[in-house]
Amino acid sequence: MNVRVSRAKMGWLGLYAATYLTFIYLPVLLLPVFSFNDAIYVAFPIKGFTLKWWEEMVAHEGMLQSLRNSLKVGVAVSIISTVFGVLAAKAFTRYRMPGSRALTGFFSIPLVIPLIILGIALLTVLTTVGVSLSLYTIMLGHVVICVPFAMFIMISRLEGFDQSVEEAAQDLGETPWMTFWRVTFPLALPGIMASMLLTFTISFDEFLLAFFLAGDQLTLPIYIWGQLRFPKKLPSVLALGSAILLATTILVTVAMMFVRRKGD
Amino acid sequence: MPDEAFISILDVSKHFGPVKAVDRVSINIAQGEFFALLGPSGCGKTTLLRMLAGFEAPTLGEIYIDDQPTASMPPYQRPVNMVFQNYAIFPHLNVYQNIAFGLRKEKLSRSDLDARVNEALALIKLEGYGTRGANELSGGQRQRVALARALIKRPKVLLLDEPLGALDKKLREQMQIELRQLQKSVGITFVFVTHDQEEALTMSDRIAVMSEGHVLEIGSPEGLYERPRTRFVADFIGTMNFFEGRVRAREGGKIAVDAERVGEVQVPADDYDFNAGDTVVVALRPENIRMRPGRPDLTANMAHGTMSNAAYLGDRAHIYVQTEGSEQPILVAMQNLDGAASSATHGERSVALQWSEQAVLLLRPE
Ligand SMILES: Nc1ncnc2c1ncn2[C@@H]1O[C@H](COP(=O)(O)OP(=O)(O)OP(=O)(O)O)[C@@H](O)[C@H]1O
Ligand SMILES: [Mg+2]
């Protein structure tokens, strides 16, 4: 390929990338900045440095309760949907079933249905059946949208290694169950970690479904949304937002490192 | 035929939907035998091997290993181990862990385990490679690790699915010899799948030639090469000239055949039950045809022709001889003894071909 052409292309691409990143990340970066700003209103110019919003955030029982709820839901959802994802991926990659394509499509429907529709549908079903809304119903909703993600991560991981290693393990005297523990599981582990981190993150900041399916216990996004009506509370929400931003970035980076790690 | 069968494959078929991957195959394999399954791609070799290993269940028929029926025996309980076509080395384990994988159930002490694994490493000449990662090995080394991993289980039967297919020619030839020596020294029954007829000939005690799910012939390398009973086997193993013909007479202990391109062919009658009027196929190996310049008078087992083409192969030459009135040349192989092949390829173009009665094979047309 002609080097100079590709370099010119690189220039344009670079400019595009820079603009794109600025638009995406500048507003996000303002979050931590204003969380240390000594003023109630989120506006320039910056007034001065303070830690009082962070202190307020840490002392805020309602906020912390919703954070705990979100963590509970997130952990449960990541475990449940990853287990489902592993099983589904195993079925799809190991058994050449008739119609497995159609089935993968079916499993990914929750990815394309607008969440608001999904939320209403789930809510209708749950209330009709007579299930009272709680953190469990939120978990249910989140599992529905997280399983496809988990499944696709696991499929790409399982497709990456040869099925004959499982046969080799059985050939060397291991039962199917021990084969799973000694071969399949260790090979799938990076995918499992990635899936758990990703589905946790999805659940953690999901708003719409949680909003429809919440009982009296709120998750963090709903709580924050509720707080926006009170201008005085906004800066401590920004502080919390900054903290979550940091945590999420770390989680996703770690997840990506697991995904990237090749079949080693 | 082995007097005592260690592995008995009794009328076994495997159907995948409409595909008959293996179709009514019966084979007996003796203990300690090096047995090859030879055939073109898709003929059912892997399927048959996987049924021995227990990864596929026969649709019909039964397999006995060491007098045990295997129908209800899962892979992990069979006294067989397999070297997979792609080796199936565990990518998350190092060489030592790969080789020791199958020993977990034996609950060996650390030092016993070390001894066993080191012994295996020595066997495959990879001493000191124990801590290498599975991805840090060359193709030949992976193949050896797969071998050691299976052999360390001390199986009664070792199944090998084209274990040398991924290696380059030099390494493959070296491994062929090593494998054969190894098999002799450990005394385990080997069932070896290959589509390479040369490989099967050099390594095996006996060979089963397969085609489209069937076993066409079973025999020793010499037997199959020198006395094939079917045209497919004659063609698949080595190279062969075929001439359509008709038996003119059977008299005086000879069968006389009128064959296209080569005229009258005479064969000792004892080996065949053909009679006058039968159509036959005359088969003649290229290396059994002698060629000399000139146009002497023809008798039986002779032909005239013109050299049309020659391929110089170093140790020998392949010379194509055109007979009158035919497009299809006769292939003659000539040893390059004292440069004979290179001078022949430049010599007189008009030649006479001659062969002995014993060199001729008569086959039933298919
Ligand atoms: N799991 C399967 N499902 C459907 N058809 C199969 C399956 N396994 C094998 N076959 C078919 O059975 C036939 C024999 O396959 P097999 O793998 O035994 O051939 P092979 O002799 O080992 O060929 P190669 O030399 O290419 O490895 C082929 O036509 C193949 O398509
Ligand atoms: Mg095969």
Distance, first Cα to last Cα, chain B: 26
Average pLDDT, chain B: 90
- Determine the Cα–Cα distance for residues B237 and B228; give it in Å rounded to an integer: 9
Cα dihedral sign for B128, B134, B138, B141?
positive
- CB-CB contact of B193 with B37 (8 Å): yes
| Residue A162 forms contact with B (CB below 8 Å) | yes
Average pLDDT over residues A49-72: 85
Ligand closest to the CA atom of residue B213? 1
Average pLDDT, chain A: 84
Residue A96 confidence class, pLDDT cut points 50, 70, 90? low
- Determine the Cα–Cα distance for residues A56 and A51; give it in Å rounded to an integer: 9
Which chain B residues in 253-272 lie under 8 Å from chain A, judged by CB atoms? none
Q: Whose CA is nearest to atom 24 of ligand 1?
A: B41
Residues of chain B with CATH 3.40.50.300: 7-236
Residue type at B201 in one-letter notation: L
Q: What digits encode the pLDDT tens for the residues B2-55?
A: 457 899 999 999 999 999 999 999 999 999 999 999 999 999 999 999 999 999
| Residue A11 forms contact with B (CB below 8 Å) | no
Is pLDDT at A262 greater than 50 in this prediction? no
Ligand 1 atom, smallest distance to B195 CA: 25
State the CATH architecture for B241-363: Beta Barrel (2.40)
What's this model's pTM, rounded to 2 decimal places? 0.79
Residue type at B205 in one-letter notation: D
Q: Is residue B331 classed as helix, strand or coil in its secondary structure?
A: strand
Using CB atoms within 10 Å of the CB of residue B75, give its burial: 0 to 12 exposed, 13 to 18 middle, 19+ buried. buried
Q: Whose CA is nearest to atom 13 of ligand 1?
A: B21
- Determine the Cα–Cα distance for residues B80 and A171; give it in Å rounded to an integer: 8
Average pLDDT over residues B325-331: 88
Write down the pLDDT at residue B345.
67
- CB-CB contact of B289 with B330 (8 Å): yes
ipTM: 0.83
- Determine the Cα–Cα distance for residues B229 and A243; give it in Å rounded to an integer: 82
According to CATH, the topology of domain B7-236 is Rossmann fold (3.40.50)
Query: A209 alpha carbon to ligand 2 midpoint, in Å?
Result: 51
Residues in chain B: 366
Q: Is residue B210 classed as helix, strand or coil in its secondary structure?
A: strand
Q: What digits encode the pLDDT tens for the residues B181-227?
A: 889 988 899 999 999 999 999 999 999 999 999 999 999 999 999 99
Is pLDDT at B327 greater than 90 in this prediction? no
Q: Out of B53, B76, B80, whose CB is closest to A174?
A: B76
How do the domains of chain A map onto residue ranges?
Answer: 36-260
Instruction: Domain A36-260: give its CATH superfamily.
Output: MetI-like (1.10.3720.10)
Q: What digits encode the pLDDT tens for the residues A200-238?
A: 989 988 899 999 988 888 898 898 888 878 877 778 888
Count of CB atoms within 10 A of residue B152's CB? 22
> In sequence order, what E strands does B72-143 have?
80-83
Bond before A221 cis per omega within 30 degrees: no
Give the phi and the psi of residue B49 in degrees, each rounded to 5: -65, -40
Q: What digits encode the pLDDT tens for the residues A130-188?
A: 888 889 999 999 999 999 999 989 988 888 777 789 999 999 999 999 999 999 889 98
Residue type at A188 in one-letter notation: A
Ligand closest to the CA atom of residue B50? 1
Which chain A residues in 63-122 lie under 8 Å from chain B, judged by CB atoms? none
Is pLDDT at A190 greater than 70 in this prediction? yes
